[in-house]
Structure 1
Amino acid sequence: MRVLITTYPERTHFLLMVPLAWALRTAGHEVRVAVQPKFADVVTQAGLTAVPVGGDRDLWQVIGRVRNLPRQDRSFSGDREPGYPSPYDAFERDPADLTWEDLRDGYERQISGWHKVSNVPMVAGLVDFARRWKPDLVIWEPTTFAGAVAARACGAAHARLLIGADVYGIAREHFLRLKDGRADPLAEWLGSYARKYGFTPGEDLVTGDFTLDVLPAPLRVQARDLTYVPVRYTQYGGPASVPAWLRTPPERPRVALTMGLTITEHDVGYPVDMQGLLDSLADLDIELVATIPDAEREKLERVPANARLVPYVPLPDLVPTCSAVIHHGGVGTMVTTAQFGVPQLSLPWDVDQPALSTLLAAAGAGLTMHSTTATGPAVRDAVRRLLTEPSFAEGAARLRAEALSVPAPNQVVPRLEELAARHGRG
């Protein structure tokens, strides 16, 4: 079959899609990845075939969401960022406290400030390519609704590939529960494309015919009435090489510290006091490996003797050598660490990170504290606990077993073939 994959130009989201794309290719299927022109090189660097569509639009420059915010206010979702309503914090709130008005206002804000910015430049070109190429299945990043529009316009089945907890499906579930015949900004916006391209709109434009979930069972956050297909997260971070120092076992317990690619690639600054964290860990008998880009390293006043600072190192090579990992709560780092059975300290900041970090702690595989309240002494105490209390290693081992029990991308391909045939409208 022919499979079209699409995402707005967010590198971390695309990297998560690459292993499934290759699983489909190695199973003999044709795969194309449609993206904005400026993002095509990222696709081809992964060995996949890119289809440039539409015009270039830098979402981060347009919305400027966090670059100039004080550290304590840096969050993308809900009432944690004053004046920036979002429906996507619904999964963290008591359903009794949710109102149609709140969710409507959140959708209106997100549509104008995020979804239109990342989708409108792509829709026409994506629909044109889909109608010419005629894919059997379209797989789209869960906010790249242009993929759903293109699928319906050409009659293909389509699915969301989640980038974390399904905050989008849960928000939609609550909104439909409260809607009661009132205005629906998201359906009205997407419905305008249905009218333009001649198909009947439906909820699949928001949540797909089915959804691919890369999280292991203890970390899943899903809507109740949607069809989910579990697929094992497979780490891919782009071109990388293993440094010589990493080939030698550490003489002391090694602890990794990483705050993810998004913060460094978009120059938004750390939500934690990096100097404070390094200082707080300086007197521990550990080898601290911190992935800090050169531009951020230049801002540091000092580097502790027990710390090794590197711009980047491939996680599948670093994590197995570690006794603990400190990170931002991003899905890629969290699940990679889980798959190697290493205890974790999560310092979440954005969207689903706090909820996933809470689930991580509930599974007994680590500890969590919000990045905006993570003081040096608190982080030091948490790291000490991870290294000395056996229960965290035991919890991490249980989570590892759960993570590795999820079907690998190659094992999921037959299920995708079945669902594509069932949901195709051609």
Structure 2
Amino acid sequence: MRIIFATYSEKTHFWSMVPLAWALRNAGHEVVVASQPALADAITATGLTAVPVGTDHRFHQVMRRTGRLTRDDPLPFDFARPTEQLSWEYLRDGYRQFVPWWCRLVNDTMVDDLVGFCQRWRPDLVLWEPVSYAGSIAATAIGVTHARVMWSVDLFTRMRRHFLRLGEQQPADQRCDPLADWLGTRVGRYGGQFSEVMTTGHFTIDTVPDSLRHDPRLDLDLDHRYLPMRYIPYNGTSVVPPWLRTPPQRPRVALTLGTSGSSATERQHGHGPSAAEILRAVAALPVEVVAMLPPSQRDQLEAVPDNVRLVDYAPLNVLAPTCAAVIHHGGNGTWSTTLVHGVPQLVLPNMFDLSVRGRYLADQGAGLTMESHEVTAAAIGSAVARLLDEPDFARNAARLADEMRALPTPRDLVPQIEKLTS
């Protein structure tokens, strides 16, 4: 088969696709990755073939200009909003925001080039991550199977189901569907027509534990074909430093707030604890701290406790198994890597599905979480002390790791993907 992975140029989203791309390639299929030019070097660094399409998106520039990367509520449309708080007006207005400021912003420049490449190369399957609807448009335009590869909890399908359900209850003259209108207009230029499968793919490859996907609190038990897949950590090329090859002398705690250093501590209009305050609170415990901080935060530190090691980056797949706890913002790569190694977590969420992951760990007894208004240096220190002192956290984290490792590997999934495609 010929297979295209389609993703807009967000490196962490692409990384979630790499293990499956290599599994398909090793099974003898032709695999390419189509994205905006900015991602080409990251794609080729994995040994995969890059197909640059369109021009680079301006998503992050627009978000910074509008302030949505710094406010307490950075996203105008909360996909994790509880079901009882959803109304037609909220969902209608939410889709009117979501489509132009995320969907169109990252996809519109890709569509023409991606469709043109598909028309020439004639893939059998297009795999796209859940915001890269350009993959769905291109696959529909040429009439081939397409599917999503998730990097998040599938809140997209959850919210879509509620939108359609409440929309059916409205008078015909008051209904609208910004997502269907946009997708229909784009695919219509190539002779295609919108169908609901364009929003979900014919199937979805998902790495979250089954116990999270079927959590009744999230009403995520959706009528859709999911192919569960074991999460395989991949975060780009990296080097294991000498210090990481030696077992720690004290319990090790890792602190990482994502590739941008953005966290719940920075989303309270400057009133959250600083990185220095967090480090002092955690370092006051009998632990060794490994803090991965961006240069902007490291430069603000006046003093660093003796038991704190500051690094720009360390490969988390190697670091996490040496840790007794990990503090982070809840991003998929960090959360999943830590989870698959059975390490208790403290999640400080800031947007989208990050709070869902944090609540899931807390519900399962495998970690703790707190909302932005609860975050203080003292609260973080107390939470880490609990993770270290209460053995149930480690036992439950190990149980979830067993659940994760029981899922099919990317290589195990290849025959199912071949069957569904053919």
The two structures have a TM-score, normalised by structure 2, of 0.92
Residue 154 (structure 1) aligns with: 142
- 1:343 and 1:396 in contact (8 A); partners too: yes
Whole-Å Cα distance in 1 between the matches of residues 260 and 158 of structure 2?
24
Is this contact kept in 2: 1:253–1:286, CA < 8 A? yes
**1:269, distance to aligned residue in structure 2 (A):** 9.1
In the other structure, the counterpart of 2:40 is 40
Q: Which amino acid aligns with 1:152?
A: T
1:115 is displaced (CA, Å) by 1.1
Alignment partners' CA distance in 2, 1:75 and 1:304: 33
Structure 1 residue aligned with 2:255: 257
Q: Does the 8 Å contact 2:124/2:421 carry over to 1? A: yes
| 1:80 counterpart residue number | none
Q: CA deviation at 1:76?
A: 3.3
Aligned to 1:173: 161
The residue aligned with 1:275 is 276
The whole-number CA distance in structure 1 between the counterparts of 2:221 and 2:101 is: 24
After superposition, give the CA deviation of every residue in 1:76-120 in whole Å (9 maximum; x if it has no partner).
33xxxxxx3x1x42x43134x322221111111111111111000
Pick from 211, 235, 238: which aligns with 1:237?
A: 235
CA contact 1:218–1:359 (8 Å) conserved in 2: no
Deviation at 1:65, TM superposition (A): 6.4
Contact 2:265 2:372 in 1 (8 A): no
Any unmatched runs of 5+ in structure 2?
Answer: none
Amino acid aligned to 1:192: T
Unaligned runs of 5+ in 1: 78-83, 422-426
Evaluate the alpha carbon distance shift between residue 147 and residue 363 of structure 1 in structure 2; reply closer, same or farther with a 3 A threshold. Answer: same
Tell me how far apart the structure 2 counterparts of residues 174 and 68 of structure 1 sit (CA, whole Å): 25
Out of 184, 191, 197, which is 1:191 matched to? 184
Native 8 Å contact 2:146 2:203 kept in 1: yes
2:264–2:371 Cα contact (<8 Å) kept: no
User: How many Å separate the matches in 2 of 1:110 and 1:68?
Assistant: 13
Q: Which residue matches 1:215?
A: 208
Deviates more, 1:210-219 or 1:344-353: 210-219
Contact in 2 for aligned 1:323/1:342 (Cα 8 Å)? yes
Query: 1 CA distance for matches of 2:59 and 2:134?
Result: 15
In 1, the alpha carbon distance for the partners of 2:69 and 2:157 equals: 28
Give the whole-Å Cα distance in 1 for the aligned partners of 2:275 and 2:63.
Answer: 25
Deviations 1:42-80 (A, max 9, x none): 11011110001111223101232676765xx33433xxx
**2:55 corresponding residue in structure 1:** 55
Deviation at 1:134, TM superposition (A): 0.8
Give runs of aligned pairs for residues 324-335 of structure 1, distance below 5 A: 324-335=325-336
Q: How many residues align?
A: 407
Cα distance between partner residues in 2 of 1:371 and 1:121: 35
Partner Cα distance (2:257, 2:29) in 1:
36
| Structure 1 residue 404: Cα displacement | 0.5
CA distance in 1, matches of 2:421, 2:321: 37
State how far apart, in whole Å, the 2-side matches of 1:269 and 1:276 are.
11
Cα shift at 1:164 = 1.1
2:31 is paired with a residue whose SS is strand
* Counterpart secondary structure, 2:368: strand
Find the counterpart in structure 1 of residue 2 from structure 2.
Answer: 2
Distance in 1, Cα, partners of 2:24 & 2:146: 15
1:237 to 1:69, Cα distance in 2 relative to 1, 3 A: closer
Q: Give the residue type in structure 2 aligned to 1:287.
A: E
- Cα distance in 1 for partners of 2:55, 2:297 equals 31
Contact 1:8/1:118 (8 A) holds in 2:
yes
Which stretch of structure 1 is more off in the superposition, 299-308 or 215-224? 215-224
Does residue 247 (structure 1) correspond to residue 248 (structure 2)? The answer is no
SS of structure 2 residue aligned to 1:261: coil
Q: Please tell me whether the aligned partners of residues 325 and 344 of structure 1 are also in contact (alpha carbons under 8 angstroms).
A: yes
TM-score, normalization by structure 1: 0.92
Secondary structure of 1:326's partner?
Answer: strand
The AA in structure 2 aligned to 1:235 is: P
Deviations 1:170-197 (A, max 9, x none): 0100001011241111111111123211
Q: Distance in 1 between matches of 2:142 and 2:69?
A: 42
* 2-structure distance, mates of 1:167, 1:14: 19
C-alpha offsets along residues 382-421 of structure 1, whole Å, 9 cap, x if unaligned? 1111111111111111111111011111111111111111
Alpha carbons of 1:407 and 1:69: their partners in 2 closer, same or farther (altered >3 Å)?
A: closer
Deviates more, 1:268-277 or 1:335-344: 268-277
Kept in 2: contact 1:169–1:223 (CA 8 A): no
Are 1:142 and 2:130 counterparts?
A: yes
- After superposition, residues 406-425 of structure 1 pair within 5 angstroms as 406-421=407-422
Distance 1:66 1:244, change over 3 A: farther
Give yes or no for contact 1:349–1:372 (8 Å, CA) kept in 2.
no
CA distance in 1, matches of 2:62, 2:193: 32
Whole-angstrom distance in 2 between the partners of 1:131 and 1:140: 17
Deviations 1:323-354 (A, max 9, x none): 11111111111111111111111111110010
CA distance in structure 1 between the aligned counterparts of 2:242 and 2:17, rounded to whole angstroms: 29
Which residue is equivalent to 1:81? none
Once the two structures are aligned, what percentage of the paired residues are identical? Answer: 48
**SS of equivalent residue, structure 1 residue 281:** helix
Alignment of 1:379 with 2:380, yes or no, is: yes
Is 1:324–1:342's contact at 8 Å kept on the other side of the alignment? yes
Residues in 2 aligned to 1:58 and 1:45: alpha-carbon distance in whole angstroms: 23
> What is the DSSP-based 3-state SS (H/G/I as helix, E as strand, rest coil) of the residue aligned with 1:197?
coil
Deviation at 1:268, TM superposition (A): 12
Letter of the 2:81 partner, please give it: E
